[in-house]
């Protein structure tokens, strides 16, 4: 998969009672629209897993790892430097192994050909373009043969094509394949995508809140929709 997460996929995840409970049910947490969408989409795929080695990239105070079955070996890879409004203090996460490094460091603390699943939520958009090559090369290193990669990426798109996205989206699409990963389904997202009404999107309230923490993007948010690019791959 390489496409925008659609409303129907989000709603189907919420129809799963285990996912719904993990998200807090009918709580105010749903107001943070984009993260709610991304967590639901991810949990729908991760909650059924048993006995797997699972690595979250840039998990911070992970909302997902603690919800996964304890038979899984759960790792959180994060430098805890506060990037992208992240945290700087290492959290207490019983049952989760924390490594204070980043993907792209090729750290010996993160074993090669080891993980059945590598995932991230709202992380890859913060990786500088000139570091994406190392990110995906290291990603392929740590993933076991046949292992799954699952990522949700924040993306702003408008009602008209914006060619400035082409380079970044091209890197998302091409670099994983270059380094030995393959999309589980053929990429469906067109170049210079435009917003469609069936796309799951952030709330206007959520965008307003984001303006308070990163006001430099307020103008962009006013003319764009905040959506999620979903990526599902496996190591060949």
51 beta partners: none
Q: Which tokens go with 28?
A: 């105010």
pLDDT at position 32 is 67
Q: Which tokens go with 78?
A: 């994060």
The upper half-sphere exposure of residue 227, i.e. CA atoms within 13 Å in the direction of its Cβ, equals 22
Say which residues have a Cβ less than 8 Å from residue 87's Cβ, sequence separation at least 6: 60, 61, 80
156 beta partners: 226
CB of 59 within 8 A of CB of 77? yes
Q: Taken in order 175, 197, 213, 164, is the CA torsion positive or negative? A: positive
pLDDT at position 33 is 87
pLDDT at position 25 is 86
pLDDT at position 28 is 63
- Which stretches of the chain score pLDDT less than 70? 28-32, 83-86
> Dihedral angle at the C-alpha atoms of 199, 184, 99, 154, nearest 10 degrees?
-20
Architecture of domain 2-235: 3-Layer(aba) Sandwich (3.40)
pLDDT at position 137 is 98
> Measuring CA to CA, which residue among 56, 17, 23, 57 is closest to residue 40?
23
Q: Is 114 exposed, middle or buried (0-12, 13-18, 19+ CB in 10 A)?
A: middle
- Please tell me the total number of residues recorded for the chain in this structure: 236
């Amino acid at each position: 998969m390489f496409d925008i997460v659609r409303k129907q996929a989000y709603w189907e995840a919420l129809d799963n009672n285990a996912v719904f409970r993990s998200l807090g049910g009918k709580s105010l947490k749903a107001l943070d629209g984009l993260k709610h969408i991304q967590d639901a989409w991810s949990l729908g795929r991760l909650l059924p897993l048993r006995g797997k080695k699972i690595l979250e990239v840039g998990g911070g105070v992970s909302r997902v790892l603690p919800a996964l079955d304890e038979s899984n070996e759960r790792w959180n890879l994060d430098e805890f430097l506060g990037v992208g409004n992240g945290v700087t203090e290492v959290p207490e996460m019983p049952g989760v192994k924390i490594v204070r490094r980043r993907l792209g460091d090729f750290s010996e603390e993160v074993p090669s050909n080891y993980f059945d699943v590598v995932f991230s939520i709202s992380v890859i958009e913060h990786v500088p373009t000139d570091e994406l090559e190392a990110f995906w090369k290291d990603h392929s290193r740590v993933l076991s043969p046949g292992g799954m990669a699952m990522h949700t990426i924040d993306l702003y798109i408008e009602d008209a094509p914006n060619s400035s996205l082409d380079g970044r989206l091209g890197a998302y699409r091409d670099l994983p394949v270059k380094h030995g990963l393959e999309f589980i389904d053929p990429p469906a997202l067109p170049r210079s995508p435009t917003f469609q009404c069936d796309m799951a999107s952030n709330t206007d309230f959520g965008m307003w809140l984001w303006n308070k923490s990163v006001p430099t993007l307020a103008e962009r948010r006013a003319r764009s929709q905040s959506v999620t690019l979903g990526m599902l791959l496996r190591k060949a």
